[in-house]
Amino acid sequence: MSEKHDEKNHEPFIKDWTYVQKEELNAESTTGKTISYWQDVRRRLRKNKLAGGSIVVIILILLASTVGQTLTGKSYDAQQLSLRNMPPVIEIQTAEDGTNFYIHQDLKVFLTDQHGFITDEIPPVSASLADKLFTYEYKGKTYNLSFSGEGIKFEDENRQPLPEKRKIWNKNYLLGTDSIGRDLLTRLLYGGRVSLLVAFLVTICTLVIGVMYGGISGYYGANLDIVMMRLVEILMAIPSTIYIILLMVYFGQGIYNILIAMALTSWLGMAQLVRGQVLSLKEQEFILAAKTVGVSPLKIILTHLLPNCIGPIVVSATLSIPGAIATEAFMSFIGLGVKPPMPSWGILSNEGIGAIRSSPYQILLPSIAISLTMFAFNFLGDSLRDAMDPRQRK
């Protein structure tokens, strides 16, 4: 009787219960999908249009510097003196019979086609420097080239200007030539390869030397830290450019020499940064636990400390690349960098400064390349710093 009584008492309660449906299993879940730190960094970088634009510009510059010279079909040191100081944009003058002429600032007359390809140079049949008049003959017709303080004039035999003038892109040399007839586009692309190679290799040396030096100094501390940091402060008391100039004077010009000189002085700031990060991390519980179980100091530094300060290291390395580009350009500009005829952006700027009034494009082009690359890396570094700041996580 008692069992039946119990069943009757529980029967109304049993009727109140129903089976849980699949769609109701997570009905009380109030948290979204968990994302890791690096996933959050990538998410914020994708939202940052400036970072995206900087990455695109950097990739394009790297691709152009890597494969650009092979696409131009010209050598960076090939000279053609008859075509020196050719501008990127030329003015074509067309005669009545359809012949196209290009008048160079060096008082030379070239034949061109309608698309902007220079085909040949016409020699003068007579030249009078006293009268400032050159005479040319082509296809039975006579043309006169006169020059004065008002500029250069190219006229027909009746001393009348040709009926048509138009400006068109120089198809022979898309960015013109330098003072000895070398293709500026090829030299600019190859110079980018040299400048970026120096910058990236110097940054790698900065990471290897600075990270290990700062990690060891910060981890061991005590007297070793004092000695190591005093050495860094002594070296930083004198600008690094002075060290580089002295080393380049001693070693001489060359790409390997400037790599060595810049690598020996570029790691000081990175060492201070890493040391500060390690000092703030080494007393935390996970480091004490690693010491307790007998993990070696080198393994603690490499597998526990450095991975936890990777954010500031990546940002600092990214921002050090434009600094290395500027330093290499400056050293090459003053004649202590890459050895000519090998081009770099600094050498191209040095060569263009002499023609800044007559051919300003020769210094403008490498200056734009340097500025664009430095802006792109600086913007990327600033965006990485914002994206890796844990205080901005939402």
Integer Rg of the chain from CA: 34
| Amino acid sitting at position 267 | W
For residue range 114-128, list pLDDT tens digits in order: 888 998 999 999 888
CA distance 169 to 115: 8
So what's the pLDDT on residue 183?
Answer: 94
Helix (H/G/I), strand (E/B), else coil: 343? coil
pLDDT of residue 1: 46
Which of 325-328's residues contact partners 24+ apart within 8 Å by CB, and which partners?
325/195, 325/196, 325/198, 325/199, 325/370, 325/373, 325/374, 325/377, 326/370, 326/374, 327/240, 327/241, 327/244, 327/262, 328/195, 328/198, 328/199, 328/258, 328/262
What is the chain's length? 394
Alpha-carbon distance 68 to 190, whole Å?
8
Predicted confidence at residue 8, as pLDDT, reads: 52
Closest CA to 51 of 36, 63, 61, 41: 41
Summary count for the chain: helices (H), strands (E) = 14, 9
Q: CA–CA separation, 62 vs 43, rounded Å? A: 24
Say what the pLDDT of residue 88 is: 94
For the stretch 158-215, pLDDT in tens is 888 899 999 999 999 999 999 999 999 999 999 999 999 999 999 999 999 999 999 9
Question: What domains does the chain contain, in order, with CATH numbers?
Answer: 89-169 (no CATH), 184-392 (1.10.3720.10)
Query: Which alpha helices (H) appear in 253-294, and where do they start and end?
Result: 255-263, 268-281, 285-292
Q: How far apart are the first and last CA of the chain?
A: 63
CA 310/CA 321 separation, integer angstroms? 17
What's the burial of 337, exposed, middle or buried (CB within 10 Å: 0-12/13-18/19+)?
buried
Question: Cα(63)–Cα(192) distance, rounded to whole angstroms?
Answer: 10
Cβ neighbour number for residue 285 with a 10 Å cutoff? 7
What are the φ/ψ torsions at residue 152 (nearest 5 degrees)? -105, 135
The tens-digit pLDDT sequence of the chain (394 residues) is 444 455 555 555 555 666 666 666 665 555 556 677 777 778 888 888 888 899 999 999 999 998 887 888 888 988 988 899 999 999 999 998 889 999 998 889 999 998 889 989 999 998 888 888 999 999 889 999 998 878 889 998 888 889 999 999 999 999 999 999 999 999 999 999 999 999 999 999 999 999 999 999 999 888 999 999 999 999 888 888 888 888 888 888 888 888 888 888 889 999 999 999 998 888 888 888 888 888 888 888 888 888 888 888 988 898 899 989 998 888 888 888 888 888 999 999 999 988 888 899 999 999 999 999 999 999 998 888 888 766 555 5
Q: What are phi and psi of 197, to 5 degrees?
A: -60, -45
For residue 126, which amino acid is it?
S
Q: Measure the CA–CA gap between 74 and 155, rounded to whole angstroms.
A: 35
Tell me how many degrees the CA angle 301-323-259 measures, rounded to the nearest 5: 75
CB atoms near residue 242 (< 10 Å): 10
Q: Quick check: 329 and 314 in contact, CB under 8 A?
A: no
Tens-place pLDDT, residues 229-242:
999 999 888 888 88
pLDDT at 297: 86
According to DSSP, the residues that pair with 151 across neighbouring strands are: 148
